Structure 1
């Protein structure tokens, strides 16, 4: 499998994981009282949140670093990615509970946006490579 297809799959997986994390963090506080009735109380456990964050960090770092080295050489996706994780960390560890339901989903969507930016940069590089190979 080519590097481009690998990074595209990682970006899609990263966008999905980050978006699910953001939706989870936004909806769990709203439905916290109904989760036990539905048998979904495990969603409010901190280990679920930490697991989602760890998966997002691994996927984001892997995908963006592969793309950076082999394709687009742009730092902007990393800036967006680290901004998203900074929002998540601030929401989790600031101790201000009123910020948590705002910052953590916003951070999750920002991490997903980093994957989207990376994916678009990869597509533009692949497009140029195809056009360059046709000219030869």
Structure 2
């Protein structure tokens, strides 16, 4: 059985999970402080989520760059999104303006990478493990 792992799909899923975390978690878990649990404004959790999204996303984009399209565009777009996520953490009062753009940039980077990998001519198809 030939199993292929789609890193772009995982990157997109991670980005969507991050967006859901940022948008819905505060609404659903507002009662946690009553029990002494602070997960909503937990700086360590937020930076850990950003780091995980960055690590998985960059691995996905690196694979596409190295094996398929050789374009820096997806990585640049992705890094802009990650920088906006970090900016959201630093300037917390402006997160409502920063977060949507961060998510748009991160998801767009994976879409650009996915499309570039599919359009690529595969002149070296024998060494591509897509």
Q: Report the TM-score when normalising by structure 2.
A: 0.75
Q: Is 1:86 paired with 2:86?
A: no
CA distance in 2, matches of 1:44, 1:17: 20
- Equivalent residue runs for 1:18-29 within 5 Å: 18-29=15-26
Separation in structure 1 between the aligned mates of residue 16 and residue 77 of structure 2, nearest angstrom: 15
Aligned residues: 124
Q: Which has the higher contact order (CA 8 A, sep 6+)?
A: 1
Please, which of 108, 116, 131 is the counterpart of residue 111 of structure 2? 116
Q: Point out where structure 1 has 5 or more consecutive residues left out of the alignment.
A: none
Q: CA RMSD in A?
A: 3.1
Give distance in 2, aligned partners of 1:21 and 1:58.
13
- Residues 73-126 of structure 1 deviation map (CA, whole Å, 9 limit, x = unaligned): 1111012101101111111112x51x113312431332122111111111112x
Checking the alignment, whether the CA contact within 8 Å between 1:25 and 1:101 is kept in structure 2 is: no
SS across alignment from 1:129: coil
Greater fraction helix: 1
Structure 2: unaligned runs, 5 residues or longer: none
